Structure 1
């Protein structure tokens, strides 16, 4: 296409500078290579010579259309259709634009009214009308991403935000929404990266800073020990369920019962004890669920160092449960008496 444009410039228009067909051909080639500003200026020269040139009106209207200046594009199409109501290309361009704007408005309206699933279909229908209309589609992709985030469809939302950012990598809102979408799919590091980048671009935006803080907290929480998983209970487990799980696992992994894999047993035994220390205490459990750093208070198992120490104080317990080998004697977080696991009962 670029070579054809060069040929028209260097050959055709050199020998026939006044040829209207050659000028229109040049404008068509400029439109094909997406040089919309040049289309507007070149078609404008043609219209100064002949204000009723339908081809020039069509081409100039399309350039404004692809720049998302839809009002001006509409005026060009309407003027051409007043001159020739049956002009097929002008009719197609005009009604195509009307349809696009209608579907876009439906999508935006349904999104604002909370009709999220309907708006998803509207946005997708609008995007299907003209995949090449990037200046307009960037906003459709962004609108779709925002709705998908609200619906909790993180993976689809990321795809839509990526489409928007591929068109305009500086689109701040798309970056923020992609960060929110990554939180949904539990890509904590990706969410922090996007939201940190957005915060750097707009340091005064408190909503972005709040979203970043939420992402950083989620990332931090993702790296801490999951005491519920260690005890094999749900986050809604009752006190009695936690006690039963603790008793069962502590007996299963007591080092004196695992002489062949004593190191593994001791490690699991420590984790089980540390998990019960947190989840077996209402106050610590509540603070853990809120995301507070229980480990920073000296809890075992999550912060490195000696998992049996707390605040520099060494806790110990003595178990004499009839296991072969004389019983396990070791530091125990929180001063929990392991003998008590036999007295926990099931309630």
Structure 2
């Protein structure tokens, strides 16, 4: 008969066997599920569906955290998504689980190199070379890293000695190999700034906002650069990113308020110009200059708005002064030249307008505005040598219908033939006809538009096909009888 102790041991062994069997079943089931996710992830990766691939590899890691391949595959997806910082921990784990794993060491060395961590990169490639001296890829990287480190140090020396172009050449070579190194991009940006090439500086600073964690300094730098090149809207967008990271940032917040105000004023000025509210546009342009009176692009924009809106508003004298100020800043600006031509037209100096449009065409031969303006100015010059309806009524070119009718009534009453006798009567009849013609054209929106564009709608020679306006066919302000012995009451409508 067995002793009680032996029976107790046998029961324990039986329970242990059952536990081991259960444990093995669980392990096998978990491993199978992990492999299933691993295979699905590989398929998604091959199909280019990175999001689904990442989801499957996440599940594989969760089910089997001891499998080096699951970490390596997930790191591959992170790298494909451009998330090198997320890939590094997985590569570290993969190498920890399988020391000397060449594929993971190569990937990690590559990431370190792109990040500019040359020492860490060299360590990984040296480990590969020690284990496999025939590995040519590792040898190629090792041959690049040492001279690269020397060139980076030389570039920094050139930058500090103000040899910016020399530094840019060496830094550009380094950035080709280390595109994720924010330090290199920031130094090259400073070189570009020193050379006055702010656009290229923006291209270097922009990626550093993502390469560094919580990079408020980078966002502020980028915002200020964009402000300086005249892109207020994008400057505002970038300084907002700074405030998302730190709402009370002592430099970002006051700069944000200034840019926000300026961007709003710039938009309002453009909207007022587009909607032909020219007087309000001029006022808004002056507000822009109060907000920013030093930065070249915004001062030029404000002065350009002032020039354009004064010219379009018919304020010829003030427009000329404003346009001259804008052209002092940008002499080869075809649009401002066209605006100055408009100012000359407002001043009724059509010869000067023709010359101005010609200058604009010399600057920009493709300018449609300059070509059309030239044709209009030439017609106005030709018409000015004939009848000028605005001069006849003594009104400005931007006069409204009420002002035109008031001038017409006054002059029609003055030159009504009933009030004149003898030799004066013939002159009065001519003046009366001219006054009536001026009123006819300037109170009809369609005819006035034609006249303002250099075409006299009452001139038979200028009408297509030689047909004159009905004004010359049957309409006689003196009635029948050719103005001799008429007897009627004239109605001022």
Give the TM-score category using the shorter length: 0.5 to 0.7
TM-score normalised according to structure 2 size: 0.40
Change (3 A) 1:219 1:36: farther
Instruction: Please tell me the root mean square deviation across aligned C-alpha atoms, in Å.
Output: 5.0
Matches within 5 A, 1:83-94: 83-94=245-256
Partner of 1:68: 230
| Gapped regions of structure 1 (runs ≥ 5) | 227-234, 248-275, 293-347
2: CA distance between counterparts of 1:192 and 1:278?
36
Larger Rg: 1 or 2?
A: 2
Change (3 A) 1:277 1:142: farther
Matches within 5 A, 1:1-347: 7-9=161-163, 27=189, 31=193, 34-44=196-206, 46-47=208-209, 49-113=211-275, 115-199=277-361, 201-202=365-366, 207-217=372-382, 220=385, 236=411, 238=415, 279=427, 282=430, 286=434
Q: How far 1:80 moved relative to its partner?
A: 1.5
SS in 2 for 1:131: coil
2: CA distance between counterparts of 1:158 and 1:241?
44
Q: Which has the higher helix share?
A: 2
2: CA distance between counterparts of 1:27 and 1:199?
37
Change (3 A) 1:202 1:213: farther
2: CA distance between counterparts of 1:128 and 1:192?
34
SS in 2 for 1:88: coil
Partner of 1:295: none
Q: How far 1:98 moved relative to its partner?
A: 1.1
Count of equivalent residues: 251
1: CA distance between counterparts of 2:236 and 2:312?
34
2: CA distance between counterparts of 1:213 and 1:143?
25
Q: How far 1:33 moved relative to its partner?
A: 6.3
Q: Which has the higher contact order (CA 8 A, sep 6+)?
A: 1
Whether contact under 8 Å (1:8, 1:26) holds in the other structure is no
1: CA distance between counterparts of 2:191 and 2:426?
71
2: CA distance between counterparts of 1:56 and 1:167?
31
Whether contact under 8 Å (2:334, 2:361) holds in the other structure is no
